Amino acid sequence: MSNFNGLMMEANLIGGQWIKADSGTAIEVTNPATGDVLGTVPNAGGDETERAIAAASEAFKTFGRTSLSERVGLLHKLHDALMDNQEDLAQMLTAEQGKPIFEARGEIAIGAAYVKWFAEEIRRAKGEIIPAPGNDRRLMTTRHPVGVVGAITPWNFPSSMLARKLAPALAAGCTVVAKPATSTPYSGLVWGKLCQDVGYPDGVVNILTGSARGIGGAIMESPDVRKVTFTGSTEVGKTLIRQSADTVKKVSMELGGNAPFIVFDDADVDAAIEGAMIAKFRNMGQTCVCTNRFYVQAGIHDTFVAKLKEAVAALKLGNGAEDGVQQGPLIDDGAVAKVEEFIADAAAKGGDVVQGGKRHANGGSFFEPTVITGATQDMMFAKEEIFGPLAAVFKFEAEEDVIEMANDTEFGLAAYAYTRDIARAFRLNEGLDYGMVGINTGLITTVEAPFGGVKESGMGKEGGSQGLDDYMETKYFCVAGL
């Protein structure tokens, strides 16, 4: 069995020590494409987490005061370590998560790009000099690392979601206790190894796998953890926000989405199809910014559907490790059952399955990429996140109506629209209640821009110049008696 050139860490990192599972308690990690067991990871809980928090608190005393150039230098080395190992890291990511290898390579690269971005951005984390009301004093603001950060990440981008948290934390001088998702732990744990390899001191980065409640509970209860950053479901996010109250932690939350993708009659339909395929079928539909609802204007509807069907039918499905595969398996059987439930609900309410619609002949958690037309606002997927390879197409007539339908959800992460009318593009940006709006593109994530949602999709931004804010406190400094 491959250990991906020594990158597959079957242990937890606490205070610089790699701790293996106690006998008989290890959790097996499987490859969703083959069902093979890749290896095991420890089933850590509250005790291990308290030790990790203690190590992070101790390490913060010195790491929080390291010089800017030292922190920048370490981040550049970490970036290079990621890129030097890109191929092995991508193979390991695909093996545990299922996404096609070209997407996995891209995920490692964007994770590394976040590390480089924050290495650059921390050099511009300036304070302010504020005009004072009287001549006897000078006012300014200074910026400081928040302290120990708890980072909880999901399985769909097990490497880059941690990058967006770890990189700004380390840039600012924070120390970290991280918990990757149990189904995809190796892409998270390896960050600990790479951080050690490039010279981060013991205790700066600690990574635990195991009980979500045990680890999450200890992170949330600890007064020493000053900030929690979470990417995952809205349901768990709400629990963490509630739990954060007792110790008044800063929280940033990247939660669920329900992205509309609006195609107007004046759109370039081929460009819209290209964007639609990326925005819907990337990672088999398992991203929080994946299109959940296609709204297509009546005049272009039939052309769009015909071309979408054709593009979806042409998708190559298989083990993501094989070059050329565009669709791997879903993460597990529960994800497949959920997609089946959405399809059954839509079919019962008058939707037409025009492409796919069932489990794939490959078996396991493979599912046929699917298109449903005749979608309506009373179907389950109008309200809930699909998180699977199912494109639901709604037909609409007027711009005002589609904006209202698009906003008819408690979520507000990403929205997409295709139009060649520049005035309409600005009206959409102002009318759509979403944290991110993309016009004439299906892929908007980039390290330079702030990623984040409004409403129940979360709070706080990752990436961009704003991505540092959550990891730094602004202190007001007043010197009087001049």
Binding site for ligand ADP (CB under 6 A): 152-155, 179, 181-182, 212-213, 216, 232-233, 236, 239
> Is 254 among the residues known to form the active site?
yes
Nearer to ligand ADP, 252 or 373 (CB): 252
Nearer to ligand ADP, 145 or 216 (CB): 216
What's the distance, CA 232 to chain centroid?
8
Nearer to ligand ADP, 272 or 459 (CB): 459
What are the strands of the beta sheet with 148-152, ordered from one edge? Answer: 17-20, 11-14, 205-207, 175-179, 148-152, 225-231, 250-254, 458-459
Burial, 305: exposed, middle or buried (Cβ in 10 Å; 0-12, 13-18, 19+)? buried
For residue 303, which of 268, 259, 277 has the smallest C-alpha distance? 268
CB of 427 to ligand ADP, least distance (A): 33
CB of 236 to ligand ADP, least distance (A): 3
d(CA 345, CA 38): 36
CB of 372 to ligand ADP, least distance (A): 22
CB of 460 to ligand ADP, least distance (A): 16
Residues 214 and 46 sit within 8 Å (Cβ to Cβ):
yes
Nearer to ligand ADP, 237 or 431 (CB): 237
Nearer to ligand ADP, 45 or 154 (CB): 154
**Nearest position to ligand ADP, beta carbon:** 216
Question: Hey, which residues does 141 pair with through a beta bridge?
Answer: 128, 476
Mention every residue, 6+ apart, whose C-beta is less than 8 A from residue 284.
Answer: 98, 99, 327, 328, 329, 330, 367, 388, 389
Tokens of 303: 């052309």
Residue with tokens 């206790």: 177
CB of 216 to ligand ADP, least distance (A): 2
Nearer to ligand ADP, 179 or 282 (CB): 179
For residue 229, which of 451, 37, 416 has the smallest C-alpha distance? 451
Nearer to ligand ADP, 143 or 383 (CB): 383
CB of 135 to ligand ADP, least distance (A): 52
Catalytic residue selected from 10, 103, 254, 385: 254
d(CA 122, CA 403): 38
Burial, 265: exposed, middle or buried (Cβ in 10 Å; 0-12, 13-18, 19+)? middle
d(CA 131, CA 473): 21
For residue 296, which of 271, 260, 270, 258 has the smallest C-alpha distance? 260
What's the distance, CA 326 to chain centroid?
20
CB of 263 to ligand ADP, least distance (A): 28
Task: List, by residue number, the catalytic residues.
Answer: 254
